[in-house]
Amino acid sequence: MPRKIFLLLFLLIVVVAAVAFLFNGNKAVGGPGIRPLTDIRYERTAERLKRGEYMANGILQCFTCHSPRNWDAPGAPPIEAKKGSGGTVLSEDSTTRIIAPNITPDKETGAGTWTDDMFARAIREGAGHDGRALNWQMP
- The pLDDT value given to residue 56: 92
Task: Establish if 102 belongs to a structural domain.
Answer: yes
Alpha carbon distance 100, 109 (integer Å): 13
Domain residue limits at 118: 46-139
- The pLDDT value given to residue 47: 97
- The pLDDT value given to residue 20: 59
- The pLDDT value given to residue 18: 63
For the chain, residues with pLDDT lower than 70 are 1, 6, 10, 14, 16-32, 139
Burial class (CB in 10 A: 0-12, 13-18, 19+), 135: middle
Task: Establish if 22 belongs to a structural domain.
Answer: no
Task: Establish if 62 belongs to a structural domain.
Answer: yes
> Is the sign of the CA dihedral 56, 61, 65, 67 positive or negative?
positive
Tens of pLDDT, residue by residue over 62-89, are 999 899 999 999 999 999 999 999 987 8
Task: Establish if 24 belongs to a structural domain.
Answer: no
Q: Is the pTM of this model over 0.95?
A: no
Task: Establish if 32 belongs to a structural domain.
Answer: no
Task: Establish if 35 belongs to a structural domain.
Answer: no
